[in-house]
Amino acid sequence: MVKVIPVVIELLSVTRVGSTGVYFDYSSADIVTYKLPLSDSEGVYYIPAIPATSFKGLLRSTYEKYLRRKEVSDQEKMNILESIKREVNNNSSNEIVGKLTDEVKEELLKYASIGLIKDFKQSNDLVQLLRIYLEVTGWNSKEACYVTSDLDQCVNLSIIEDEKVKKERELWQKLMGRDKICKVCSVLGTSGVRGKVKFTDMIAVDPFPVFLERTTHISINRLTGTAEKGKLFTEEIIPPGVKFLGFAVILEDSVLDQVLDMLKVLKDKADRGEVWIGGRGTSGYGTFKLYLPPEEIKFSTRSLLEEGLFKLKYDEPKREGAVIKTEVIKRLFPISFMSTLEKVTEGEPQHEVWYEVITDDNQVIKTENIEELNKTIGELEKAGKKYKIVSHGEYHL
Ligand SMILES: [Zn+2]
């Protein structure tokens, strides 16, 4: 049965529209934002949004790194190296070992050039090279690959036609201790493997519409210190406090817990300021808080949702129970997803028990509480009328 997890992102600092994102050291810490045009009788709105692919990419890179760098004991590291040695020896006559050796070496040279490895000594021993590789990228390679790395990503072997490439990929997966597809790819998918979860775009729903701030910068010529003619650039800024709503759609029940775990890891990372949204620029831009079930979140009077407190809960999509304030929201998400945001009623007056006083001549007097009731009875008795009392509501003993 399909389940839907609501996710809300609240911006804590100013955030740039667009992205200068780099995917470096396997840590994409950047989410791009785009503006979704939406027209109605009032005109065209441009709503900041985070594309589903971008959110999924951040979730994936965060979780890959988290799993891959899990603590591995020295004894386990020895075991991993022993098994790598066995695999390499089994294939020693093979040209594939030579090819992988070159590829790992090339990868390590890249790391050395950006300072991730100090004093890299070149070697032709694949086991030694892999020891360094795992030291840098994390030893828990059996649970997580790096999907953006041509070398390390999981691939569905059955879709590779070239026999040589297939053998090479097969050996790599053995060296990394992965029998098939890693824990991350089996949930999110990889080339030749379908993911078991889908994401919607995350769309700014509170306030709606968002007024973007525009700042124009002038390019200053570094040498002359004067403004360069015609070199103005405009930057669009989303103010802090804006809330984005999106959904993860679980297509197979078996991955629900793992997706919740992924989201939790991302949430913790956001709390520590280690991931951000939009172009980074000056540090401090784009920090955010992630809200997940069973948390509660408040939407304002200017929200596309009703004002008030909502409880996030994962659930099957259903049409009933959806709190819809404006038609606009129906153009952004399937209505059945909205039932995962449950309105929390707070501070409502409690009328647990109330009384009806029915007189002889069938006059019905409603009273809200004991004081009102006593007052009514007093008046009836003074007037010499007969009556009976019927109580309604819940009793708490
Ligand atoms: Zn993988």
**For the chain, what is the domain count?**
3
Confidence of residue 233 (pLDDT cuts 50, 70, 90): low
Using alpha carbons, select from 288, 188, 207 the residue that is nearest to residue 248.
188
Considering the domain boundaries, does residue 86 fall inside one?
A: yes
User: Residue 141 Cα, ligand 1 centroid: separation in angstroms?
Assistant: 9
Q: Please write the tens of the pLDDT for every residue from 126-183.
A: 999 999 999 999 999 999 999 888 899 999 999 999 999 999 999 999 999 997 899 9
In this structure, the answer to whether residues 133 and 204 fall within a common structural domain is no
In this structure, the answer to whether residues 336 and 360 fall within a common structural domain is no
Phi, psi of 113 (to 5 degrees): -70, -25
Considering the domain boundaries, does residue 307 fall inside one?
A: yes
In this structure, the answer to whether residues 133 and 247 fall within a common structural domain is no
Considering the domain boundaries, does residue 323 fall inside one?
A: yes
User: Residue 190 Cα, ligand 1 centroid: separation in angstroms?
Assistant: 7
User: Residue 37 Cα, ligand 1 centroid: separation in angstroms?
Assistant: 35
User: Residue 178 Cα, ligand 1 centroid: separation in angstroms?
Assistant: 9
The residues, any chain, with a CB within 8 Å of residue 232's CB and separated by 6 or more, are 216, 217, 218, 219
User: Residue 196 Cα, ligand 1 centroid: separation in angstroms?
Assistant: 14
Residue that has been written with the tokens 């090819």 in this structure: 99
Q: Are strands 3-11 and 288-291 parallel, antiparallel or unpaired?
A: antiparallel
Considering the domain boundaries, does residue 161 fall inside one?
A: yes
Considering the domain boundaries, does residue 267 fall inside one?
A: no
User: Residue 314 Cα, ligand 1 centroid: separation in angstroms?
Assistant: 26
User: Residue 187 Cα, ligand 1 centroid: separation in angstroms?
Assistant: 9
In this structure, the answer to whether residues 42 and 172 fall within a common structural domain is no
User: Residue 8 Cα, ligand 1 centroid: separation in angstroms?
Assistant: 27
Beta carbons within 10 angstroms of residue 10's beta carbon: 17
Residue 306 burial (10 A CB sphere; 0-12, 13-18, 19+): middle
Quick one: three-class SS letters along 225-291?
A: CCEEEEEEEEEEEECCCCEEEEEEEECCHHHHHHHHHHHHHHHHHHHCCCCCCCCCCCCCCCCEEEE
Beta carbons within 10 angstroms of residue 18's beta carbon: 13
Tokens representing 96 are: 């594939």
Sign of the four-CA dihedral 148, 149, 152, 154: positive
User: Residue 182 Cα, ligand 1 centroid: separation in angstroms?
Assistant: 4
In this structure, the answer to whether residues 217 and 120 fall within a common structural domain is no
The SS3 assignment for 82 reads helix
Residue that has been written with the tokens 């022993």 in this structure: 82
The residues, any chain, with a CB within 8 Å of residue 60's CB and separated by 6 or more, are 147, 184, 188
Tokens representing 46 are: 């441009």
In this structure, the answer to whether residues 13 and 76 fall within a common structural domain is no
Confidence of residue 225 (pLDDT cuts 50, 70, 90): low
Of the ranges 24-33, 40-49, 77-86, which one carries the lowest mean pLDDT score? Answer: 24-33
User: Residue 294 Cα, ligand 1 centroid: separation in angstroms?
Assistant: 29
Quick one: three-class SS letters along 60-81?
A: HHHHHHHHHCCCCCHHHHHHHH
Average pLDDT (323-351) is 79
Instruction: Please list, residue by residue across 24-43, b when 16 or more beta carbons sit within 10 angstroms of its beta carbon and e when fewer do.
Output: eebebbbbbbbbbebeeeee
In this structure, the answer to whether residues 289 and 383 fall within a common structural domain is no
In this structure, the answer to whether residues 94 and 219 fall within a common structural domain is no
The SS3 assignment for 43 reads strand
In this structure, the answer to whether residues 246 and 333 fall within a common structural domain is yes
Strand partners, 104: none
User: Residue 147 Cα, ligand 1 centroid: separation in angstroms?
Assistant: 6
The residues, any chain, with a CB within 8 Å of residue 381's CB and separated by 6 or more, are none
CB atoms within 5 A of ion ligand 1 belong to: 145, 154, 182, 185
Max mean pLDDT range (36-45, 243-252, 315-324): 243-252
Q: Please write the tens of the pLDDT for every residue from 168-211.
A: 999 999 999 997 899 999 999 998 899 999 999 999 999 988 87
Considering the domain boundaries, does residue 275 fall inside one?
A: no
Using alpha carbons, select from 338, 343, 344, 342 the residue that is nearest to residue 246.
338
388 compared with 85, residue with greater pLDDT: 85
User: Residue 65 Cα, ligand 1 centroid: separation in angstroms?
Assistant: 11
Q: What span, in angstroms and rounded, lies between the C-alpha atoms of 289 and 393?
A: 42
Structural domain boundaries, residue 151: 71-139+145-181
In this structure, the answer to whether residues 177 and 291 fall within a common structural domain is no
Quote the pLDDT of residue 24: 33
Considering the domain boundaries, does residue 268 fall inside one?
A: no
Residue 283 burial (10 A CB sphere; 0-12, 13-18, 19+): exposed
In this structure, the answer to whether residues 213 and 109 fall within a common structural domain is no
User: Residue 292 Cα, ligand 1 centroid: separation in angstroms?
Assistant: 25
In this structure, the answer to whether residues 308 and 205 fall within a common structural domain is yes
Confidence of residue 91 (pLDDT cuts 50, 70, 90): confident
pTM for this entry: 0.78
User: Residue 336 Cα, ligand 1 centroid: separation in angstroms?
Assistant: 32
Considering the domain boundaries, does residue 260 fall inside one?
A: no
Q: What span, in angstroms and rounded, lies between the C-alpha atoms of 160 and 330?
A: 42
Confidence of residue 284 (pLDDT cuts 50, 70, 90): confident
User: Residue 346 Cα, ligand 1 centroid: separation in angstroms?
Assistant: 45
